[in-house]
Amino acid sequence: QTWKLVLRGGNLSTGCASMDMDPKSPDTLFAAMWDHRRKGWTFRSGGESAAAPSASGLYRSTDGGESWQALESPYDGSFFGLLPLSDGGLLALGLRGHVFRSDDRGKSWTSVASGTEATLTTGRELGAGKVAVAGMAGVLLLSKLGWLDTSIIFVNPTYLYSGIVGGLIMGVGFVVGGY
């Protein structure tokens, strides 16, 4: 009864993929909005066609979510996570292994080589300057802040086979759907 819409995507197929709170400022929230649509046997991420722009985006609120400001996007693709770091940095995680770091809370971005083409969806600080970044099929990458090291890869065996089968099904959907 008391809900109100405070963050809306750029089109009807864009929704919030993730939201996280700044560890030093609980009123500062970050959200990753993802433009996607599941249609029958296909799935698309981004605009309605290969040439259409994506309405995916990154957002920040400094008043506990009452209002939101769009952040400059480091690339024209889909993001699934924004991870505020205790050192003041911010990581944006996305499709095809895209990782970007901002040291000014989202005003400018630097690309970080992830060494993977996996979709990266979420992350958490582990302490001692380390970050865990999770992606599709349970891939876990450990790193120093701002750098991902693919020499340390953990695939949870519980989800390995379902992740492979799901990835194959999703891959066929991308091929059939023309992506």
Summarised one tens digit per residue, pLDDT across range 85-126 is: 888 888 888 877 888 999 998 889 999 887 777 788 888 887
CA distance 30 to 61: 6
| pLDDT the model gives residue 43 | 65
Instruction: Find all residues with CB under 8 Å of 79, minimum gap 6, and list them.
Output: 17, 32, 33, 34, 56, 57, 58, 73, 92, 93, 94, 95, 98
Encoded tokens for 170: 């999703």
